[in-house]
Structure 1
Amino acid sequence: MMEMKEKRLLQVYAFFKGDSKPSFLLQKAASSLSGEGLDLSLALEGKIDEKTVKRAEKGAILAFFDTPEKAGRFAFSAGRAGGKGLSLYGGTPFGISLAEANVLSFFQKEEFHSALIYTADWAFPIISDRDLEKRGAPFLLSLYRGLMLYAAGKEGTLLGAMDRGRKFTESF
C-alpha cells in the first residue's frame, strides 16, 4: 500500500488541438486523477523535445501521436535517452481507436517494445472510428485514465489500469 501513496510524475503529450474534443476529454481524464498520487503535466499541440525526455528520468511519459512512425521513433529515442513510458498511435483524432488496432510502444532504460492492441481486449465496446465523436466519450475517458495510471506505474498491468480507469464516475 505504501507504493500507492507515493507521488508519481507523469508527462502527457498529445497531438490534439487545444480547443478540440480530444483535448477536452484528455484534460478531464487527467483532472479526475488528481487524488491518485500523480503529478501530471499536459502538453498539447507541442513538440516533445529532448528536455521533456530528460525530465522523464524522474517520472514517465505518455505520448499520443498522429502517425505510427512518429510514435515508434519517439519511443525508440526516449528509451535510448533513459526515459520510460508509453507512446500510442490509434489512427483517430482521439489518439486511440475502439474499433481498429492501435500501436502501443513501451520504452524504458534503453528497451523498446511495440504491440498491436485492441481495446476490446480490455472489455471496451467496439465503436467505429467515425462514431467516436458521438458515442465514445465515456470509454475514451476510461482509456485515457487507464493509460495514465499504467504509464505512471500506478498499476502493474494494462488490464488492471483499465479496470481502475473505469471506476471513476462521469458527469457530462
Structure 2
Amino acid sequence: MSTPIGPDSSRIPSSKDSPDETALLSELISVCLAVQTRLGPSCPHSVYIDSIVRELRERGIFAVRGCHSRGGSASRTRPDGGLRLLGSGSFDLLVEASLALELADFSDPNFQRDPIHQIDLFSERLRTQRLDAGLLVDFNQPDPTEGIWLARAKNAPSLSPSGTN
C-alpha cells in the first residue's frame, strides 16, 4: 500500500505504470524534494503548500489546493490553523485531478505518530475518492527522502516493480 521514497530507485514508480502517471509521480516527488531542500523543516503548512503549488506551476502542472469532496462529520485543527474534515476525503492538494498530496507532521503531539497507520488511512481516503495514488509528505524529517511516502488506494494497481504493495 505504501512505499517510502528514497535514494533506492527501485522504490520509484515502475515502468509498468502508465507513462503519464509515472512521469507525474516523478515530478511531484522531485518538487517535494526541492521544496524540502530549499525550505528545510519546521515551516508553516501553508508555506510548504504555496511553494509546492508555485513549483508545480513553473513545471506546467496544475494543482488544486484544499480539495474537499464528500462531507465529513468531524474536524481537527491543523498546525497552520486550517480545518481538516476527518473522513471527508479532503486533500491538501489534488494534482492534475489524479494524484493527491497530503502534508503530515509525525512529530506533532496532536497527530498520530505511527506513519504506517496514517498511510493506511490515507490509502483508504484515496480509494473512497477513486484516486489510485498519492503522496503523504512529512517535511520535518532531517533527511528529505525519509519523509515522502507513496500510497496506493486499496485495490489499486501496484507501483512497485515486484507487483506487490
Same fold by TM (over 0.5)? no
State the TM bucket, normalised to the shorter chain. 0.3 to 0.5
TM-score by length of 1: 0.32
Higher relative contact order (CA 8 A, sep 6+): 2
Structure number with the higher helix fraction is 1
